[in-house]
Structure 1
């Protein structure tokens, strides 16, 4: 499954698409420090607006220093901490991101975007109970987020609550019929429950939704291979690995929540000589590209 870009969806969820700046009154206020505070906060929120725009263009390195400065200028505004925390997580600085998001939560404890983001971050840390708590609380406030439902499904899966995982995935897909990772993961769970027929049906449906995704194609190929439909399985497996040869890496599959039974069957499938041939070809092509990238340009 692809790594979901939480930043854009969470900004929308939190209502930060258009941050309102504080309005300055016409009258001259006698207390000068208050004027300075309002000015600093206004500058901080302007920086936050710039950061949000940069995030939309995926210019995270430029967005980060603006968000950091915004937290210094407007420390009582939860949005600045929310954006900064998500930027740290985007940069894979999980501990720092969680610490900042907890500051945002302290300022706005019932803001669902913060809860969803914390749940996602705790999941990445392997703190599945903490992830479940935040995601469930967020969904009590706003239950229409397929991304959050998907994350909750993944969390249930890690907690071995398989029925709850399927329910959460199916609810996510029901809310967005183009959100194929949710339906794909129902197949992953069903395969581990020895419901190969159900898993095959799910992956076939995913391919109908989006036929350019490697994961459901490879999973379906493995299942068909086990069923003895070797020719069709190999053709599908080759197509999948041409789309994304990372799925020939067992650790990559584990990172994408493939279960033990599917992993074992995938190892057998990948050992097939015809599949080995395309895996070797893909590895050689990847190595060549890496070597080309490392060759310094001629001055």
Structure 2
């Protein structure tokens, strides 16, 4: 590619044939407009950086137009297309996200982050087979990525490939001992399989890692209450809901891959007067210690 692109204006020629010899004919001097491609690309990358900063503060409506313009000014940057695809993912514009991410992959097939993002886009579209394929491809390039391993486990979970899902979650934890979401999701699987004690053990471990993680705390509360440990379960349930009341929404729990059995038990649990009172309370959070693993 030449460094500069040239745009030449039309040359207007005045005919001299019918003009008196005393009159000097004049022609429009041609002008060349030079566009510095390298400078435009740099401006595009700067816009992309601005968009990324805005996205960090959840100002997606301001970030998106900047990212779109950045792809026009720096169309050969896979990172700019990846950014645009990620922003579309946040607004749940999945077709636009996949189009941008596919462009990014064309520019750089060896970027695992693009493949992971394509996996996420397909997962959210409930195309779990395609999601798993992209996560697998990403992990070939970046095999020890905890989040990639975790995401592949979730895709396997939704495909009903439960032993493989658990294996991926365990691999994620082997790479990051404090990666409690993977431990939590092993508990989700075990609960649906009827292994309540096994699920409790997983959730106890997750809560030990992060006492302010509302999801395993609520799951543990439900399991303990249903098993007969009412007081401990209720105390933990109150604490979980005071941390994050989104977990009182069954649809939100389903989005977080809670299975049918756990959702049914959670519905009953949330209808208890103490849980309803916890939702209305604005008291500070006091998180009880989980019972020791058995």
Task: Give me the TM-score of the superposition, normalised by structure 2.
Answer: 0.80
Q: Distance in 2 between matches of 1:30 and 1:157?
A: 52
Q: Which residue of 2 aligns with 1:94?
A: 94
Give, in angstroms, the shift of residue 45 of structure 1: 2.3
Residue 105 of structure 2 contacts residue 115 of structure 2 at CA under 8 Å; is this kept in 1? Answer: yes
Q: Are positions 1:204 and 2:194 aligned together?
A: no
Give, in angstroms, the shift of residue 58 of structure 1: 4.6
Q: Which residue of 2 aligns with 1:143?
A: 143
Of structures 1 and 2, the one scoring higher in RCO (CA 8 A, sep 6+) is 1
Q: Which residue of 2 aligns with 1:186?
A: 186
Q: Are positions 1:243 and 2:243 aligned together?
A: yes
RMSD, aligned CA:
2.2
Greater gyration radius:
2
Q: Which has the higher helix share?
A: 1
Give, in angstroms, the shift of residue 259 of structure 1: 0.7
Q: Distance in 2 between matches of 1:58 and 1:275?
A: 31
Per-residue CA shift, 1:181-213, capped at 9, x if unaligned?
111111101111111111111111111101012
Give, in angstroms, the shift of residue 102 of structure 1: 0.9
Q: Distance in 2 between matches of 1:136 and 1:195?
A: 29
Q: Which residue of 2 aligns with 1:70?
A: 70
Per-residue CA shift, 1:264-286, capped at 9, x if unaligned?
2222322333334334x25xx7x
Q: Distance in 1 between matches of 2:3 and 2:127?
A: 50
Q: Which residue of 2 aligns with 1:168?
A: 168
- When residues 270 and 114 of structure 1 are mapped into structure 2, their CA distance, relative to the original with a 3 A threshold, is same
Per-residue CA shift, 1:28-57, capped at 9, x if unaligned?
979757963333223222322333344445
Give the total of aligned pairs: 255
Instruction: Provide structure 1 residue ranges, at least 5 long, that are not aligned to the other structure.
Output: 1-27, 286-299
Q: Distance in 1 between matches of 2:255 and 2:80?
A: 31
Give, in angstroms, the shift of residue 74 of structure 1: 1.8
Q: Which residue of 2 aligns with 1:5?
A: none
Residue 5 of structure 2 contacts residue 36 of structure 2 at CA under 8 Å; is this kept in 1? Answer: no
- When residues 40 and 264 of structure 1 are mapped into structure 2, their CA distance, relative to the original with a 3 A threshold, is same
Instruction: Provide structure 2 residue ranges, at least 5 long, that are not aligned to the other structure.
Output: 8-33, 283-294
- When residues 229 and 30 of structure 1 are mapped into structure 2, their CA distance, relative to the original with a 3 A threshold, is closer
Per-residue CA shift, 1:203-233, capped at 9, x if unaligned?
1111110101211111111111121111111
- When residues 160 and 74 of structure 1 are mapped into structure 2, their CA distance, relative to the original with a 3 A threshold, is same
Task: Give me the TM-score of the superposition, normalised by structure 1.
Answer: 0.78
Give, in angstroms, the shift of residue 59 of structure 1: 4.2
